Amino acid sequence: MKLMRVGEPGRERPALLDGDGVIRDLSDIVDDIAGDVLSPAGLARLAALDTASLPAIDPAIRIGACVGGVQKFACVGLNYADHAAEAGMPVPDEPVLFGKAISALCGPNDEIEQPVGSTKLDYEVELAVIIGTRAKNVTEAEAMDHVAGFAVFNDVSEREFQIHRGGQWIKGKSHDTFGPLGPWLVTRDEAGDIGNLGMFLDVNGGRRQTGSTRTMIFGVAHLVSYISRFMTLEPGDVIPTGTPPGVALGMKEPAWLKPGDVVELGIDGLGRQRQVVVPAA
């Protein structure tokens, strides 16, 4: 299934995309794409619906972040061998983890704000893992049983804030609109070979990132198991799993994002995003 949340910010309602590309309203079935809805039983209930009988929604409606009730981002850095190489950093022995404020979460086609004082605004196409059931100290063999599905994520970053302002990476990762997620949560049964998905990101129509999840250093099951040793993962939690090469930070002459730029990105089978950069108020 492809599950969605649509409507104005803060007032999104649950929906799904049917096999004909029609957005169907789930408001009479569930309150949100969150909590127990993300469990195997909750997803099975939705999968059993006669989607043709559900009300259709205007395709022009705003698409929100594809999951609600998110308690945390558990982000993974330097998780692509080719990206680590472009950054001039060694391949890590263990996953590099960092946080991102939940207030950064936004829809896949919402505007990206350039923060006040920003000089090095960057982009990162990433595969996001959406947790479906509580995971604490789970083994790698058990890990995928706790995953509801996957989504496209743009880990928008302000590199000056991240690298040169002291402290943790979270400073450069957490401005409002720095977490576009969606358009869909694609359930595990429809996501294909998650270890071999093509990825891309364009700026103003020019290709910046081309990659594949096959160059991930630590795979999804390993990451879920590893992170669950340090924090309990709850339904709706999001794990962005790292980015392939091509980010502005890795360029000899970095082409940082600026107001007016158009960012388009996607992952095979998981959909596409489009964002316009605007100055923050």
pLDDT tens, 224-237? 999 999 999 999 99
Confidence of residue 54 (pLDDT cuts 50, 70, 90): very high
Mean local confidence (pLDDT), 218-247: 97
Q: Report domain extents, the chain.
A: 68-279
> What integer is the mean pLDDT of 22-29?
98
Task: Quickly tell me which residue has 């002291």 as its tokens.
Answer: 166
Q: Model confidence at 166, in pLDDT bands (50, 70, 90)?
A: confident
Phi-psi domain of 127 (left: phi exceeds 0; alpha: psi -120 through 50; beta: other): beta
pLDDT bracket for residue 16 (50, 70, 90): very high
Fold of the 68-279 domain? Fumarylacetoacetate hydrolase; domain 2 (3.90.850)
Long-range contacts of 251-258 (CB under 8 A, 24+ apart): 254/120, 254/122, 255/203, 255/208, 256/119, 256/120, 256/121, 256/122, 256/159, 257/112, 257/114, 257/121, 257/122, 257/123, 257/203, 258/114, 258/121
Residue ranges of the alpha helices (H) in the chain? 40-47, 81-86, 140-143, 159-164, 220-227
pLDDT value, residue 87: 74
pLDDT computed for residue 10 by the predictor: 95
So what's the pLDDT on residue 90? 85
- How would you classify residue 182: left for phi > 0, otherwise alpha for psi between -120 and 50, otherwise beta? left
Confidence band (pLDDT; 50, 70, 90) for 63?
A: very high
Q: How far apart are CA 29 and CA 204, in angstroms?
A: 40
40 alpha-carbon distance from chain centroid: 21
**Mean pLDDT, rounded, for 17-39:** 98
Do residues 91 and 208 make contact, with C-beta atoms less than 8 angstroms apart? no
Q: What are phi and psi of 215, to 5 degrees?
A: -95, 10
Tokens of 50: 């006669």
- CB neighbours (10 Å) of residue 105? 22
Measured over the CA atoms of residue 54, residue 55, residue 58 and residue 63, the dihedral's sign is negative
5: closest CA among 215, 13, 159? 13
For residue 183, say if its preceding peptide bond is cis, omega within 30 degrees of 0: yes
Q: How confident is the model at residue 219 (pLDDT cuts 50, 70, 90)?
A: very high
Asked if residue 111 lies in contact with residue 276, where contact means CB atoms within 8 angstroms, the answer is yes
Contact 248, 122 (CB under 8 A): yes
**To the nearest whole percent, how much of the chain has pLDDT over 70?**
100
Residues β-bridged to residue 73: 238
91-143 per-position pLDDT tens digit: 899 999 999 999 999 999 999 999 999 999 999 999 999 999 999 999 999 99
Mean pLDDT, the chain, integer: 96
Q: How many CB atoms lie within 10 A of CB 151?
A: 30
Is the pLDDT reported for residue 252 higher than 80? Answer: yes
Q: Please identify which residue in the block is written with the tokens 């339904």.
A: 235
pLDDT at 175 over 80: yes
Closest CA to 169 of 87, 278, 52, 55: 87
Of 248, 278, 250, 276, nearest in space to 263 by CA = 276
Confidence at 256, pLDDT banded by 50, 70, 90: very high
The predicted-structure confidence for 151-161, as pLDDT tens digits, reads as follows: 999 999 999 99
CA–CA gap between residue 143 and residue 135 (Å, rounded): 8
Residue 201 binned pLDDT confidence (cut-offs 50, 70, 90): very high
